[in-house]
Structure 1
Amino acid sequence: MKLLKLAPSQRVQGRWLLHLEDGSLLRVGENEVVSFGLYAGMELSGERLEELCAAAALGELKERAIRALSLRPLSRRELVQKLTARPRPTRDGKERKEKAAADPAAAEAVADWLEELGYLNDAEYAKSVVRHYSAKGYGERKLRDELYRRGVPRDCWEEALAEAQDPEDEIDQFIRRKMRGEDPRDPRALKRTSDALARRGYRWEEIKEGLERYGAAQDDE
């Protein structure tokens, strides 16, 4: 198969367009142009063309992975799921060609590559998740739920959970906001407050101690 024309893409920086003699168009990255020594007029055997197509597909998948991580941090499982997800149809029912599902083995290979480069790190990602939700006033159960939902390996959990803020101040502030204007001895108000704290992932022991501190503070006033 002869490569009739090799031209840079006008839309995507770093991408090259290969015009083949059968009328097909192949998009490759700069790495493929260099590593395969591509030039106009070059003859590509069937085997060499298959290798080039595979390399181009892997390069495009790496670009997709990097773009995904540039939007927000992800766990390894989240990234692999994003790369292998089937494309959702557009409003007119057509699939988005640029988001075709990747082969799982290729997605795992890209994840390995990103881990080697340090762009994908489940341990550091777990810590950032814990810090984020802890700062928003959520308890340990919620933090564990988030780590599980995001596919973070369990061997990263305990070190990450050590990054959580001391819940005492958050619980005390939440109780004061929730109980404002309520009788501090009203069992219904106390139950509403304790239920709200439980939904935020705090343990009953932490909630009970917070309510006791609140009651003691009210008695002192």
Structure 2
Amino acid sequence: MIKNIYPISNTKLKMLVVFDDGRTIAVVKSALKEYNVKEGDNLSFEKVSEIAGEGEAHEAFLKAADALGRSPKSEKEIRTALKDKGYSKAAADVAVEKLTGYGYLSDEDYAKTYIEHYSKKWGRKKLVYELVQTKGLPSDVASEIVYGALSDEDELRLALELAGKFLKKKDGKDNLKQKCLAFLASRGIDFQTALKATETLIKEEDDYA
């Protein structure tokens, strides 16, 4: 039997359900309301545990779906957001599984959108790094998608564009090649492509000087 239901001081998400035998369980408020769980109800610990699990998983799913509706996100970002809001790993697992099954959550689709947005300012190495380190994609998945979407020609075209803008801002020629290479490296352009772009543009400047 349920003896008491108390607020939990460190979260607004759940209430603490106390049984007459001293056992306790945290239950999301929405589940208590949906199942009309009250003090004095003759419900078993197992039944309330079931209600708690289903209720939290459902609410986590709704929160995650709402977040995805506002902007694309990776699985890691969704899991982090749910954890920060106080949802358990079990609830997050259910939410992620449902969203993936419905086609709303896909790291591959997210990566493609990410590449479209950032490929005009970052090279392939930088894109892979960001997808893995900040977005939580597996490195093999990130590499396959990035290198499948952007060819060597795309990388060289970007390097020439970035290097061209960089060189226009530089008046002196001291260590110009090294500075340009360092700049392109910071943008995630691989060394051989950066070298080719830099030498091509510097040679063109010298030819017209």
TM-score (norm 1): 0.67
2:71 and 2:169 mapped to 1: Cα distance? 41
Structure 1 residue 203, shift from structure 2 partner: 1.3
Structure 2 residue 92 is the aligned partner of structure 1 residue 104 = no
- The answer as to whether partners of 1:75 and 1:152 remain within 8 angstroms in 2 is yes
Matched residue type, 2:176: A
1:132 corresponds to which residue?
117
Q: Which among 14, 27, 30 is matched to residue 30 of structure 2?
A: 27
SS of corresponding position for 1:213? helix
Structure 1: stretches of 5+ with no match in the other structure? 2-24, 86-98
What are the within-5 Å matches in structure 2 for residues 177-196 of structure 1?
177-180=165-168, 182=170, 186-196=173-183
Structural RMSD (CA) = 2.9
What are the within-5 Å matches in structure 2 for residues 83-122 of structure 1?
83-85=82-84, 99=85, 101-122=86-107
Q: Which among 129, 133, 142 is matched to residue 157 of structure 1?
A: 142
Structure 1 residue 182, shift from structure 2 partner: 4.2
Over 3 Å counting, the alpha-carbon distance change for 1:171 and 1:27 in structure 2 is same
- The answer as to whether partners of 1:129 and 1:146 remain within 8 angstroms in 2 is no
Structure 2: stretches of 5+ with no match in the other structure? 2-27
- The answer as to whether partners of 1:122 and 1:153 remain within 8 angstroms in 2 is no
Count of residues in Structure 1 that have an aligned counterpart in Structure 2: 174
- The answer as to whether partners of 1:198 and 1:204 remain within 8 angstroms in 2 is yes
1:74 and 1:198 mapped to 2: Cα distance? 27
The percentage of counterpart residues that share the same residue type is 25
- The answer as to whether partners of 1:131 and 1:163 remain within 8 angstroms in 2 is no
1:72 corresponds to which residue?
71
TM-score (norm 2): 0.70
Structure 2 residue 174 is the aligned partner of structure 1 residue 175 = no
